[in-house]
Amino acid sequence: MSKFIIKRLLISVVIFFFVMFIIYALEYSLPSSYVDKMARQLQSKPGNTKSFEELKADLDAKYGMDKGIIGGYFAWLGHMVRLDFGDSWQWTDTVLNVFKSCIWYSFFLSLIAFIFELIIAIPLGVVAARKQYSFTDYFVTVVAMVCISMPTFFIAVLLKYLFAILPSQSSFPEWLRWIKLPLSGMGSARTSHMTSGWASFLDLAKHYVLPILTLTIISIGGLMRYTRTNMLEVLNADYIRTARAKGLPEKKVINRHAFRNTLIPLVTILGSSLPGLFGGALITETLFSFRGIGYRSYHSLTNGDIPFTMFYLAFSAILTLLGNMIADILYAVVDPRVRIS
């Protein structure tokens, strides 16, 4: 096992090297110069005594843009190894400080949605497979296809209307006003001045609800279909028919024999979920103005914040490689027949 982990780590390092080189080359070759844009902004600030050319030269030297693609990339790698990602142009703070200020909001958002996804999607997929061609199967299939088909922005707008806009109308029943939830953001005006306390926690929790619902709805469809398909394949296997022929209870056949083997392909999905837990939900967070890592990354990408963009893409690449490696290791956990050499 240790040899396998070391081998995969070395391969991941090589993949990471070339992936980040491609990303750096794309950032370097953008048709519009964000360094020029930043230099003009710095030049217009009060108290600035440097010319545009001096400011541009300083920024080029700081971020290795004056060394060409190859030289600049290795300069960026050198800073990355020392965990020096520079200052974020968009958020006017160091990249790591911006990251620390928002990562845990995104982590808990994605983690709660991920837990709901597992609780809802996997049992429904198993039930649909056990009752193939029944009303339950058709119902689960329709729900899964609807969740897969609807885009994130549509679900977000629909939830905003149902749980934020509609309850605010005067014609809405008074006894249902309790379902009203915040439209966007991470805090209400009346509790924004609070830094701690139960009221502040409850207010933040309310702002979590709609983003969590959105992430859960868009994710359960694919996992339900995947679970149902793999469960049907396992239930039609010879060893399942043998287990039933021996007179084993159906519950034992499903839980001990069928479900465990269904988990093997599901491990790939679970392992690939790691980047989502820490990488943030870029679209969902932006739609709800939820100031997590996804929200900040979106605005950094659209506003040409190269330091934060490079950090976010490097962070996502590392999480993806780590998730794939964890998935491979988990194969041996869920299936003792797998032997890693």
pLDDT digits (tens, 9 = 90+) for 294-337: 899 988 888 878 889 889 999 988 888 888 887 777 776 666 66
- Residue 194: is its pLDDT beyond 70? no
Q: Which of 290, 289, 311 has the alpha carbon at shortest distance from 300?
A: 311
Can you give the residue ranges of every domain in the chain? 2-94, 103-334
| Per-residue confidence (pLDDT) for residue 190, from 0 to 100 | 56
| Low-confidence winner among 106-110, 174-178, 225-229 (lowest mean pLDDT) | 174-178
Give Cα 196 distance to the centre of its chain: 27
Q: pLDDT (tens digit, 9 = 90+) per residue, 122-168?
A: 999 999 998 888 999 999 999 999 999 999 999 999 999 999 888 88
| SS3 state at 270 | helix
What would the CATH number be for the domain defined by 103-334?
1.10.3720.10
> Residue type at 138?
Y
Taking each helix axis as running N to C, give the angle between helix 135-149 and helix 95-130, from 0 to 180 degrees, rounded to the nearest 10: 150
Amino acid at 71: G
Confidence class of residue 202 from pLDDT cuts 50, 70 and 90? confident
Q: Say which residues have a Cβ less than 8 Å from residue 249's Cβ, sequence separation at least 6.
A: none
Sort 2 into a burial class: Cβ within 10 Å, 0-12 / 13-18 / 19+. exposed
Contact of 281 with 218, CB cutoff 8 Å: no
Separation CA 276–CA 267 (nearest Å):
15
User: What is the rounded CA–CA span in Å between residue 327 and residue 207?
Assistant: 32
CA dist 225 and 220 (Å) reads 9
**Bridge partner list, 87:** 94
Per-residue pLDDT of 19-64, as tens digits, reads 999 988 888 777 666 677 778 877 888 877 788 788 888 877 776 6
Backbone angles phi and psi of 94, in degrees to 5: -65, 150
CA distance 39 to 57: 9
Query: What is the length of the chain?
Result: 341
Q: What is the pTM of this model?
A: 0.83
Mean pLDDT of 164-193: 78
Distance CA 296, CA 67 (A): 29
210: phi then psi, degrees, rounded to nearest 5: -65, -45
**pLDDT, average across residues 273-296:** 83
What is the rounded (10 degree) CA torsion for 41, 46, 50, 53? 20
Q: Is residue 248 classed exposed, middle or buried when 0-12, 13-18 and 19+ CB atoms within 10 A define those classes?
A: middle
If one compares 166 and 66, the residue with the highest pLDDT of the two is: 166
Instruction: Retrieve residue 110's tokens.
Output: 């994605």
Q: What is the mean pLDDT of residues 101-130?
A: 91
pLDDT of residue 29: 78
Closest CA to 212 of 143, 111, 123, 282: 111
| The pair of three-digit structure tokens given for residue 306, joined into one six-digit string | 């190269």
